[in-house]
Amino acid sequence: MSLLTIRNLSVTFATASGPFRAVDGVDMTIAPGEVVGIVGESGSGKSVAMLGLMGLLPDSATVTADVISFEGRDMLKMSNRERRKIIGKDIAMIFQEPIASLNPCFTAGYQIGEALKTHLGLDKKAARRRTIELLSQVGIPEPERRMTAYPHQLSGGMSQRVMIAMAIACEPKLLIADEPTTALDVTIQAQILDLLLDLQRERGMAMILITHDMGVIAETAERVVVQYAGQQVERQSVANLFETPRHPYTSALLAAMPERARGGRLPTIPGVVPGQGDRPTACLFNPRCPKADERCRTVVPPRQPAELGEALCHYPVGADPRPPEAIPPGFGPLSRQPLEGGARASTIAPEVPGDAR
């Protein structure tokens, strides 16, 4: 049985300039012990989708879904009290900004202790013992001393560890880690990722790892969801995603990475991610997509089958049904070059939405 199932989750914000759909029809199935990655550029709705799931969005947000179930229990029909029992205990989250999400007025030890008392009903002494245990487990030297430190007295890496200690305090079955290492140096990032994967392996904890870093995804996740402008445009195993990306956006994103380039210019994606004011019609990627034609601008693209990466696209890379002469170079079935596909060698591309073509 799956641990968490989400079907058609959407989030719309009421803003001064009208409604803004930040998350648009997101699905997710995660089995116990599995690691799923969500990648996407900033503003693609990764955080909002997960905050929506956790019920942590402000009142201006409207969250809708067909199904949200945890261990077979329908979370949509639950009372708030029942939901709170799951969230914070069985599902825990590590937030993007560690410093901002720790309460500055309380010591690290106190904040972890409170979670233990509330969710596990530990008494003060047991909570203290467990807190020290947790802090040393996440690699904090001298945990007794650090317990009494306030968040501002901790470095970025240390506060991130405290956040992790707090999140795993109640042995969650699912950990949602939102950019857990983005603010950290690479050597500390490597330590934190190792720590998270150890916990996942040792305890069979499932994990949703949100990041904009393709390298982090490659090293940690088993399955990947690529998000663009609030939509999941591709869903594949990590190996297949890097080998044969199917959505033109994924393919372009991979090609734009400097480590994949061999000297010279990097292939770029012209334009920028659409915002509230310039949301395109039909396929949201069409103004930036080199494969786009009239159909992409007028007909909402279908969800392709699993062997095509569940790509949300009329013309998935390597399986474009159009006659060869209608396909831009580098995309035809014969000239499959997934790494270069989707991106074009650019000169200095003006990055104005709508001017991409």
Partner 1 sequence: MTAIVTAKNLSQIYELKRGMFAKPLALKAVKETSFTVEQGETLAIVGESGCGKSTLARMLTMIEPPTEGELTIDGIRIAEASDSDLKRLRSIVQIVFQNPYGALNPRQKVGAILEEPLKINTSLSAAERRERAEKMLAEVGLRPEHYGRYPHMFSGGQRQRIAIARAIMLEPKILVLDEPVSALDVSIQAQILNLLAELQERLGLTYIFISHDLSVVRHVATRVMVMYLGRPVEIAPVEELYANPLHPYTRALLAATPAARPGRRGARQRLTGELPSPINPPTGCAFHPRCPYADERTKRERPELTQHGKTMVACFAVDEGRLPPPDAAVVETPEPRA
Q: Which does 248 bind (CB under 5 to 8 A by kind): Mg ion, ligand SF4, partner 1, none?
A: ligand SF4
254 binds ligand SF4 (CB under 6 A): no
Least distance to partner 1 from the beta carbon of 85, Å?
34
337 binds partner 1 (CB under 8 A): yes
42 binds partner 1 (CB under 8 A): yes
Q: Is 11 or 254 the residue whose CB approaches partner 1 more closely?
A: 254
344 binds partner 1 (CB under 8 A): no
Q: Is 70 or 285 the residue whose CB approaches partner 1 more closely?
A: 285
Least distance to ligand SF4 from the beta carbon of 255, Å?
14
Residues 318, 352, 274: CA angle, nearest 5 degrees: 65
Q: Is 13 or 150 the residue whose CB approaches ligand ADP more closely?
A: 13
Q: Give the contact letters, 31-70, x = binds to ligand SF4 (CB under 6 A), - = no.
A: ----------------------------------------
- Distance between CA atoms of residues 301 and 295, nearest Å: 9
- Distance between CA atoms of residues 135 and 133, nearest Å: 6
Give the side-chain half-sphere CA count within 13 A for 262.
Answer: 2
246 binds ligand SF4 (CB under 6 A): no
Q: How many CB atoms lie within 10 A of CB 144?
A: 12
10 binds ligand ADP (CB under 6 A): no
Closest CA to 196 of 209, 183, 215: 209
- Distance between CA atoms of residues 59 and 254, nearest Å: 36
- Distance between CA atoms of residues 108 and 116, nearest Å: 13
Q: Give the contact letters, 11-50, x = binds to ligand ADP (CB under 6 A), - = no.
A: --x-x----x-x-----------------x-xxxxxxx--
Strands 231-237 and 267-268: unpaired
String of DSSP letters for 139-202: T-SSHHHHTT--GGGS-HHHHHHHHHHHHHTT--SEEEEESTTTTS-HHHHHHHHHHHHHHHHH
Least distance to ligand SF4 from the beta carbon of 212, Å?
19
- Where does this chain bind ligand ADP (CB under 6 A)? 13, 15, 20, 22, 40, 42-48, 58, 60
- Where does this chain bind ligand SF4 (CB under 6 A)? 248, 283, 285-286, 289, 291-292, 296, 301, 313-315
